[in-house]
Amino acid sequence: MAEAERIIGTPDSAGADEAAAPAEPSRRRRKIAVLFGVAVVAYLLDLVTKMIVVAKLEHHEPIEVIGDLLKFEAVRNAGAAFGIGEAFTVIFTVIAAAVIIVIARLARKLYSMPWAIALGLLLGGALGNLTDRIFRSPGVFKGAVVDFIAPAHFAVFNLADSAIVCGGILIVILSFRGLDPDGTVHKD
């Protein structure tokens, strides 16, 4: 009898399965909310800091934060990291837009909280730099990104860049640990 109940289920086990079904979409919605929540926070922090930098620091002397080790210095960067590829601003704009689209599509299959955080950081950073490329001078899709964090002997960057790098590092760690965005774990 117990074997038959295990195979066909009991009325109680059928109810448990039905109760579990609504939990899945709700669990996924929480992960999507975290993704977009992290993205909004990263985006707004980047936007606000850039507005302050443009208003208070641009065309002024750099501010020493930690002696010569760290300064805040307003720099306009038409290229990618380290100012590479300044002639390809339009391409960087297209890449940022593609990243945003891929993340939005991936969100539909998201069941992992760490992936939600990582993708939220990438999305917020991509939106921050894309906003500069669209709305800042010299023109639409050619705008220069506002960078201002200037460590000694390193490239000047901004909070959007930091969010992208942190999200990327988290994705690498998650991938090495075998955790997929859908929450499954695989061992290779």
| Catalytic positions | 147, 161
- C-alpha span between 97 and 105 (Å, rounded): 13
Residue 30, token pair as written in the block: 């929480």
Q: Which residues pair with 149 in a beta bridge?
A: 72, 157
- Residues 158, 128: contact at Cβ < 8 Å? yes
Helices (H) and strands (E) in the chain, counts: 5, 3
Residue 167, token pair as written in the block: 């999200």
- C-alpha span between 146 and 143 (Å, rounded): 9
- Residues 35, 120: contact at Cβ < 8 Å? yes
- Residues 142, 58: contact at Cβ < 8 Å? no
